[in-house]
Amino acid sequence: MCAIVVGSSKLLRPRLLGRWHCQLQPLVCCVSPQRTGKPDQLFATAKYSLQRKSQNKSSALCRQATAPEKDAHVVRKVSLEDLAAVLELLAVSAAWSLPELEATLQQSHTLALLATTGPISVGCILAWLLDDELQILDVVVHPTHRRQGIGKALLKVLLNQAQERGCALATLEVSKDNAAAVQLYQQLGFQQVHLRKSYYRDGSDALLMNKCV
């Protein structure tokens, strides 16, 4: 077995058991003794092999970087064409009828966002911006799409839009028993300021939380 230096333009005279050496600590490619050829030919073959491997690796990385992300969520403004989808999502809270929702969406102080995954509506958020205060009315994520960051994405977009329109304070109410929602709001900087006893129909208490925007 002999060794051919790869990555150097200058090969030194052989020494020490017939190995080729380079002063710059080059990469060494081993060649079988059955393969014959001049050092220049062996060097060119090894160099070409390394170039092909590098090109294949670069192509794979490029394909990986440009591949579309699966299950990407899009957050956009709600339109009247989205009424049915939003009403279906809000059915969990049973607090909205179709006329009420349509009237609310037509108000200038209403902020409403819809999260979609492809053609599927997976979450929505409704709020009122009154003067410099944002009142978050409902945050809903479809049960099969929870724990995917959709609620957080909706809240972040909403808070950014409210801030651009001069909002200084955001407020919301959440069931004390809804630990996941309470934790999410706390992660975004909301703090509990009041407890409302037996606020919901099922008798559970409500936490009033707010956040400076």
pLDDT digits (tens, 9 = 90+) for 90-122: 887 777 888 998 999 999 999 999 999 998 999
Q: What is the pLDDT of residues 131-142, one digit of tens each?
A: 999 999 999 999
Lowest mean pLDDT among 95-104, 165-174, 189-198, 200-209: 95-104
pLDDT (0 to 100) of residue 78: 93
- Specify the higher pLDDT residue, 49 or 88: 88
| Confidence check: pLDDT of 58 > 60 | no
Q: What is the pLDDT of residues 68-79, one digit of tens each?
A: 355 688 999 998
| Confidence check: pLDDT of 166 > 60 | yes
- Specify the higher pLDDT residue, 160 or 27: 160
- Specify the higher pLDDT residue, 79 or 170: 170
Lowest mean pLDDT among 28-32, 89-93, 200-204: 28-32
| Confidence check: pLDDT of 52 > 70 | no
Average pLDDT for 136-156: 94
Average pLDDT for 46-74: 54
What percentage of the chain reaches a pLDDT higher than 70? 66
| Confidence check: pLDDT of 63 > 60 | no
pLDDT (0 to 100) of residue 127: 97
DSSP string, the chain: -EEEEES-S-PPPPBTTTB---TT--EEEEE-TT----HHHHHHHHHHHHHHHHHHHHHHHHHHHHSPPTT--EEEE--GGGHHHHHHHHTTTT---HHHHHHHHTSTTEEEEEEEETTEEEEEEEEEEETTEEEEEEEEE-GGG-SSSHHHHHHHHHHHHHHHTT--EEEEEEETT-HHHHHHHHHTT-EEEEEETT-STTS--EEEEEEE-
| pTM strictly above 0.85 | no
